[in-house]
């Protein structure tokens, strides 16, 4: 049975701003709206408007300063979930969230700069955003920085730091490209582990690893 939240669904049609029946702290209200959005988004059996309602609640929470809601709304716009896909709007919401220090939003802003999504490619700025996210222990930020440090993309090449970041992120990402890169970095210092990582990457279908193992 679906929960009924205090904010009338009529607001979706009118666009009116919801008013709480009793005065309350904006932070508390924002988290109530955020939780409502998550509930609608995560129903196993969704009604035709559940994702739209979810995006609506995320917007209400984001508009009164909830960084997590702004990030979720950015995701919704990036992927067209509950709203029409709009990557420019996605970046705007990611920026709003990142400005409040959300590590997931910082990663996404970095990704948009890294891949040139709606703006010019700029690996140096991408790396700055990844660093901000990594400082908050975002594993995928370490993952992205490791590749950039190894290749000298947007940052000075630093193989030692690249190795550290691959070592830190790989247990959680289990990414076959990261395994391949780390195998290269360990080829001299730890050839046995290097070979093991190469085989793991190949077992995951990594084409470069398969090619390397096929060589006599």
CB 202 within 8 A of CB 177: no
Q: Say if residues 154 and 126 touch (Cβ distance below 8 Å).
A: yes
Residue 83's pLDDT band, with cuts at 50, 70 and 90, is very high
Question: What's domain 1-100's superfamily in CATH?
Answer: Tetratricopeptide repeat domain (1.25.40.10)
> What distance in Å separates the CA atoms of residue 105 and residue 133, rounded to the nearest whole number?
8
- Mean of pLDDT values over 82-91: 98
- Residue 180's pLDDT is what? 98
pLDDT at 24: 64
pLDDT of residue 46: 81
> Would you say residue 3 has pLDDT above 70?
no
* pLDDT more than 90, % of the chain: 84
Q: So what's the pLDDT on residue 15?
A: 40
pLDDT (average), residues 179-200: 97
Give the residue extent of every domain in the chain.
1-100
């Amino acid at each position: 049975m679906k929960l009924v939240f205090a904010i009338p669904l009529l607001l979706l049609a009118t666009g009116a701003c919801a008013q709480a029946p009793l005065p309350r702290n904006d932070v508390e209200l924002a988290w109530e709206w955020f939780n409502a959005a998550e509930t609608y988004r995560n129903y196993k059996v969704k009604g035709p408007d559940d994702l739209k309602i979810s995006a609506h609640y995320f917007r209400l929470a984001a508009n009164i300063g909830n960084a997590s809601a702004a990030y979720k709304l950015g995701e919704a716009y990036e992927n067209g979930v509950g709203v029409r896909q709009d990557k420019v709007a996605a970046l705007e919401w990611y920026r709003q969230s990142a400005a409040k220090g959300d590590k997931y939003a910082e990663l996404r802003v970095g990704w948009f700069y890294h891949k040139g999504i709606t703006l010019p490619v700029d690996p140096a700025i991408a790396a700055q955003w990844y660093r901000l996210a990594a400082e908050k222990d975002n594993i995928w930020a370490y993952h992205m920085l490791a590749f950039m440090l190894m290749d000298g993309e947007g940052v000075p090449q630093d193989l030692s730091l690249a190795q550290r970041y691959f070592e830190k992120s790989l247990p959680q990402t289990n990414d076959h490209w990261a395994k391949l890169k780390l195998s290269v970095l360990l080829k001299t210092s730890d050839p046995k582990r290097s070979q093991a990582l190469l085989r793991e990457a190949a077992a995951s279908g990594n084409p470069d690893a398969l090619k390397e193992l096929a060589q006599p």
